[in-house]
Amino acid sequence: MAFLVLDGLTKTYGEVRAVDSLSCTVEKGEFVSLLGPSGCGKTTTLQMIAGFETPTSGRIELAGRNLASIPARQRGLGIVFQTYALFMHMTVRENVSFGLEMRKVSGRELKTRVDRALEMVHLGALADRYPRAMSGGQRQRVALARALVIEPELLLLDEPLSNLDAKLREEMQLELRRIQREAGVTTVMVTHDQSEALAMSDRVVVMNGGRLQQVDSPFDVYETPKSSFVSTFLGKSNNFAARLESTTDTGSVLTSGGITLSGPRASLLPGAAEIAIRPERIELTGPEQGIVSGTVRERIFLGAQWMLAIETAMGEFLVARRNSGNREADIGDTVHLVWAPQDLRILPAKEGARS
């Protein structure tokens, strides 16, 4: 049986449905991210799990217990807020021990558990320091230790890395994942950062407009998106309106911008569709092998790779090219693009598209 169950979870504010019939599960020990743009309902979902918001309808179960009638303070959850919410007049040790003191834990057990939590986040040597004298990454780890020391059944993270600079944020992704695995605590994190969700999660719950879009492993949600929104929200993607002409057991035939394309077997009926292909799956080739030709309109150097914007009969393609140490095609050059048919993703047409 799933450890955390969200069943038909709905939250309305007047006419606004912030969360709309959300159903998903989280297994014990799993790290799951709620991912989506601002206003998609992910934070409201986290607040309902925590008990800070009351669902309009639906059910939340944790380890077989219905949380509806349990006040937030009695749910026994560990929570790390976006702002960390540390007590600046308390030392690191005092901050971490606060939750245990509220639970009437004292003496040797309190000291042992606080020491263990501080060592887990590599802050044992800073136990007597005050938060105001610490870096953003150190404060984040204090907040994490404070949440873990109570040995919660469920850890909730509300954009815990958003206040860190880019380099420290990447380092803390690895550190936070290490700590979560070491503690073995089931974790639900809210984030709008795609790379963060992909790097840290066992599974990703993609949301938009209060609705669930897709639940999958990071690899599958990136490689096999189920909708246009998922394909474009997670990383860069080239998406074009298309028509699915036919499908057999071996593949599909499509047309887009007057160009005939081969794709993998589609689960859709012939008619209006959308195709998507990642920039890194496209190669530059000779004119005789090219699927589509175009003109380089923009060229951006990103260090490890080049990003080319190429205007074609199908529309503008973004093409990612590994930095080989040489300059890539210049602006104004004519280039020819090719990709493997299995790298094309065939998606349902956007609402309102005609077949």
For residue 84, give both structure tokens.
């960390």
In contact, 328 and 306? CB cutoff 8 Å: yes
Q: What is the pLDDT of residues 77-117, one digit of tens each?
A: 999 988 888 999 999 999 999 999 989 998 999 999 999 99
Q: List, for residues 271-298, the tens digit of each pLDDT value.
A: 999 999 999 999 999 999 999 999 999 9
Express each pLDDT in 69-85 by its tens digit: 899 989 989 999 888 88
- Sketch out the chain's domains with CATH numbers: 4-223 (3.40.50.300), 236-348 (2.40.50.140)
Dihedral angle, C-alpha 48, 49, 52, 57, nearest 10 °: 30
pLDDT tens digit sequence for 304-354: 999 999 999 999 999 999 988 887 789 999 999 999 999 999 999 986 555
Q: How many CA atoms lie within 13 A of 233 on its CB side?
A: 25
Instruction: Give the helix, strand, coil percentages of the chain, each rounded to 5.
Output: 30, 35, 35
Q: What is the pLDDT of residue 326?
A: 80
Q: Which two tokens stand for residue 219?
A: 């690899």
Tell me what pLDDT residue 165 has: 83
